[in-house]
Chain A
Amino acid sequence: MTMTAPDKKSKRSNPPKSNRSTSKADRTYDAIVIGGGHNGLVNGAYLAKSGLRTLILERRHLVGGAAITEELRPGFWFTTFSYALSLLRPDIIHDLELVKHGFMPLLMSSRFAPDGQGDYLLFGQDHAQNLKEIARHSKHDADAYDQYGHDMDRVCQAIKPLLDTVPPDIFSDDPEELLALAGIGARLRKLDKRVLHNAVRLLTGSAADFLDDYFDSELLKGYLASSSIIGTKVGPRSQGSGLVLLYHSLGEHDGEFGSWAFHKGGNGGFTQVLARAAQSFGAEILLESPVEAVITKDGQATGVALADGTEYHAGTVISALDPRRTFLELVDPSELPDDLVEHIRRFRFQGTSSKVNFALDGLPDYPGLGPKPDHFRGFTNIGPSMDYLERAFDDAKYGWYSQRPYIDMAVQSTIDPDMAPPGKHVLSCFIQYTPYKLRESDWDTEKENLGDTVQRTLESFFPGFGDLVLQREVVTPLHIERTVGLSEGNIFAGEFIAPQMFFFRPAPGWSQYRTPIEGYYQCGSGTHPGGCVMGAPGKLAASQIIKDRAKTRPRARA
Chain B
Amino acid sequence: MIRTTPLHERTNALNETQLWSHWSGHLAANRYQMSDKLEYFAVRNAAGIFDSSPLYKYRITGKDAESFLAGVLARDIRACVPGQAQYTCWLDDRGFVIEDGVILHTARNEYLLTSAEANLAYFEDRIGRNDARIEEVSHDIGTLALQGPRSRDLLRKLVPQMGSIPYFGLARGEIGGAAVTVSRTGYTGDLGYEIWMESPDALHVWDALWDSVEGHGVLPFGLAALYMLRIEAGLLLLDADFDSSRYAWNDAHRSSPIELGWSWMFKDLNGDDRAFIGRKALQREIAEKTSRWTMRGLVVDWRDYDRVYGDAGLIPPKDHTPIVEDWMVYDDDYKRVGYATSFMYSPMLQRHIAIARVRPDFAAVGTKVNLEFTVDHHYEQVAAHVARLPLYNPQRKTV
Is the beta-carbon distance between A90 and B349 smaller than 8 angstroms?
no
Indicate whether A255 reaches chain B with its CB closer than 8 angstroms: yes
- By the criterion CB–CB under 8 Å, are B37 and A417 in contact? no
Contact indicator per residue, chain B 300-316, by CB within 8 Å of chain A (1) or not (0): 00110010000001011
Whether the Cβ atoms of A109 and B38 lie closer than 8 Å is yes
Residue of B with least CB distance to A373: B217
Tell me whether A374 is interfacial, beta carbon within 8 Å: yes
Partner of B41, one of A93, A107, A129: A107
Q: Are A104 and B215 in contact (CB under 8 A)?
A: no
- Are B350 and A423 in contact (CB-based, < 8 A)? no
Which chain B positions have C-beta within 8 A of A421?
215
Report the bound CA distance from A415 to B46 in whole Å: 9
Q: Is the CB of A422 within 8 A of B41?
A: no
CA gap between A203 and B212 in the complex, in Å: 52
Verify if B398 is at the interface (C-beta below 8 Å from A).
Answer: no
- Knowing A91-B303, A93-B350, A103-B350 touch, does A417 contact B34 (C-beta < 8 A)? no
Q: Which chain B residues numbered 326 to 366 have a C-beta less than 8 Å away from chain A?
A: 345, 347-351
Q: Report yes or no: B315 in contact with A257, Cβ–Cβ below 8 A.
A: yes
Residue A182 is within 8 A (CB to CB) of chain B in the complex: no
Cα of A109 to Cα of B320 in the assembled complex, Å: 14
| One of A6, A254, A422 near B214 (C-beta < 8 A) | A422
- Residue B161 lies at the interface, judged by CB distance under 8 Å to chain A: no
List chain B residues, Cβ under 8 A from A526. none
Q: Is the CB of B38 within 8 A of A254?
A: no
Q: Are B316 and A255 in contact (CB under 8 A)?
A: yes
List the B side residues contacting A50 at CB < 8 Å: none
A422 B317 Cβ-Cβ under 8 A: no
Whole-angstrom distance between the Cβ of B185 and the nearest chain A Cβ? 24
With CB as the reference atom, state the residue of chain B lying closest to A255.
B318
| Residue contact A264 to B345, C-beta cutoff 8 Å | no
Q: Does A94 contact B (CB under 8 A)?
A: yes
Interface membership of B35, Cβ < 8 A? yes
A119 to B41 CA separation, bound complex (whole angstroms): 30
Given A422-B216, A423-B215, A124 contacting B345 (CB threshold 8 A): no
Q: How many residues belonging to A are interface residues under a CB distance threshold of 8 Å?
A: 34
Within 8 A of A (CB), among B207-227: 214-217
Q: Is B183 an interface residue (CB 8 A)?
A: no
A99 within 8 A of B: yes
Q: Pick the residue among B33, B149, B150, B348 that contacts A374 (CB under 8 A).
A: B33
CB–CB A109/B349 < 8 A? no
B316 contacts which chain A residues (CB < 8 A)?
255
A105 close to B347 (CB less than 8 A): yes
CB neighbors of A among B34-56 (8 A): 34-35, 37-38, 41, 44-46
Determine whether the beta carbon of A153 is less than 8 Å from that of B45. no
Judge whether A254 and B34 touch: CB under 8 Å: no
How many Å from the CB of A260 to the closest CB on chain B?
14
Residues 95-106 of B, flagged 1 when their CB comes within 8 A of A and 0 if not, give 000000000000
Contacts of A10 in B (CB 8 A): none
A15 to chain B, nearest CB (A): 24
Query: With A157-B315, A255-B318 given, is the CB distance from A107 to B347 under 8 Å?
Result: yes
A499 to chain B, nearest CB (A): 30
Do B35 and A255 touch (CB < 8 A)?
no
List residues of chain A with CB within 8 A of the CB of B215: 417, 421-424
Contact A254 B347 (CB under 8 A): yes
Interface residue A144 (Cβ < 8 Å from any Cβ of B) = no
The answer to whether A129 and B347 have CB atoms under 8 Å apart is no
Taking a contact as CB atoms under 8 Å apart, the answer to whether B217 and A94 are in contact is: no
* Measured CA separation A93–B320 after assembly (Å): 18
Residues 38-76 of B, flagged 1 when their CB comes within 8 A of A and 0 if not, give: 100100111000000000000000000000000000000
Closest Cβ of chain A to B266, distance in Å, is 32
Contacts of A415 in B (CB 8 A): 41, 217
Q: Give chain A nearest CB distance to B152 CB in angstroms.
A: 14
* A417-B214 contact, Cβ under 8 Å, with A125-B34, A125-B35: no
A470 → B minimal CB distance (Å): 15
| A447 to B348 alpha-carbon distance, docked (Å) | 40
Chain B residue with the shortest CB-CB distance to A421: B215
Q: Using Cβ atoms and an 8 Å threshold, which residues of chain B touch A254?
A: 318, 320, 345, 347, 350
Which residues from B are CB-within-8-Å of A90? 302, 306, 350
Interface presence of A106 (CB below 8 A): yes
> What is the total number of residues of chain B having a CB less than 8 Å from a CB of chain A?
31
Contact B348 A264 (CB under 8 A): no
Chain B nearest CB from A53 CB (Å) reads 28
A377 within 8 A of B: yes
Of all chain B residues, the one with the shortest Cβ separation from A257 is B315
Contact assessment for B38 and A107 in the assembled complex, using a CB-CB cutoff below 8 Å? yes
Q: Is the CB of B45 within 8 A of A126?
A: no
Q: Which secondary structure dominates where chain B touches chain A?
A: loop
- With A91-B303, A157-B315, A255-B318 known as contacts, the answer to whether A377 contacts B38 (CB < 8 A) is yes
- Asked whether A448 is an interface residue with its Cβ less than 8 Å from the other chain, the reply is no
**Which residue from chain B places its CB closest to the CB of A413 in the assembled complex?**
B217
Bound Cα distance from A105 to B347, whole angstroms? 8
- 0/1 string, A1-34, CB within 8 A of B gives 1: 0000010000000000000000000000000000
Q: Do B350 and A99 touch across chains, with their CB atoms under 8 A apart?
A: yes
Which A residues between 131 and 162 are near B, CB-CB below 8 angstroms?
153, 157
Contact assessment for A125 and B350 in the assembled complex, using a CB-CB cutoff below 8 Å:
no
Contacts of A153 in B (CB 8 A): 315
Q: Taking the nearest CB of chain A, how far is it from the CB of B38, in angstroms?
A: 4
List, in ascending order, chain B residues with CB within 8 A of A93's CB: 350
Query: A257 CA to B317 CA in the complex, in Å?
Result: 11
Q: Do B34 and A129 touch across chains, with their CB atoms under 8 A apart?
A: yes
Q: Is A416 an interface residue (CB 8 A)?
A: yes
Taking the nearest CB of chain B, how far is it from the CB of A512, in angstroms? 24
Query: Contacts A125-B34, A125-B35: A94 and B349 contacting too (C-beta < 8 A)?
Result: no
Quick check: is A442 within 8 A (CB to CB) of the other chain? no
B303 CB contacts on chain A under 8 angstroms: 91, 94
Q: Mark A217-245, 1 if CB is under 8 A from B, else 0.
A: 00000000000000000000000000000
| A103 CA to B345 CA, complexed, in Å | 16
Q: B213 CB to closest chain A CB, in angstroms?
A: 9
Residue on A nearest B305 in the bound complex, by CB: A255
> Separation in Å of the A218 CB from the closest CB of chain B?
26
Residue of B nearest to A425 (CB): B215
Report which of B37, B217, B317, B349 forms a contact with A107, defined as CB distance below 8 A.
Answer: B37
Interface positions of A from 94 to 110, Cβ below 8 Å from B: 94, 99, 103-107, 109
**B residues within 8 A CB of A446?**
none
Interface string of A459-473 (1 = CB under 8 A from B): 000000000000000
By a CB distance below 8 angstroms, the chain A residues around B302 are: 90, 94
A256 at the A/B interface (Cβ < 8 Å)?
Answer: yes
> In the complex, what residue of chain B is closest to A123 when comparing beta carbons?
B34
For the complex, give the distance between the alpha carbons of A423 and B320 in Å.
30
Residues from chain A with Cβ under 8 Å of B33 in the complex: 109, 124-125, 374
In the complex with contacts A106-B45, A125-B34, A129-B34, A255-B345 CB distance below 8 A? yes
Contact residue among A103, A106, A126, A256 (Cβ-Cβ distance under 8 Å from B318): A256
Task: Kindly state the separation between the CA atoms of A297 and B389 in the bound complex, as whole angstroms.
Answer: 55
Residue of B nearest to A106 (CB): B41
- Smallest Cβ distance from B368 to chain A, in angstroms? 16
Question: Are B348 and A107 neighbours in the complex by a CB distance under 8 Å?
Answer: no
By a CB distance below 8 angstroms, the chain B residues around A418 are 45
Return A5 CB to nearest CB of chain B, in Å: 11
Contact pattern, A 399-420, Cβ under 8 Å of B = 1, otherwise 0: 0000000000000001111100
- Given A104-B44, A104-B348, A125-B33, 9 additional A-B pairs, CB 8 A: A109-B35, A109-B38, A124-B34, A125-B35, A254-B345, A255-B316, A416-B217, A418-B45, A422-B215
**Cross-chain pairs A/B with CB under 8 angstroms, 28 sampled:** A90-B302, A103-B350, A104-B44, A104-B348, A105-B347, A106-B41, A107-B347, A109-B34, A109-B35, A109-B38, A124-B33, A125-B33, A125-B37, A129-B34, A254-B345, A254-B350, A255-B318, A255-B345, A256-B318, A257-B315, A374-B33, A414-B217, A415-B41, A416-B217, A417-B45, A417-B46, A417-B217, A422-B216
Which 9 pairs from chain A and chain B are nearest by CB? A255-B318, A417-B217, A422-B215, A125-B35, A423-B215, A126-B34, A109-B38, A125-B34, A124-B34
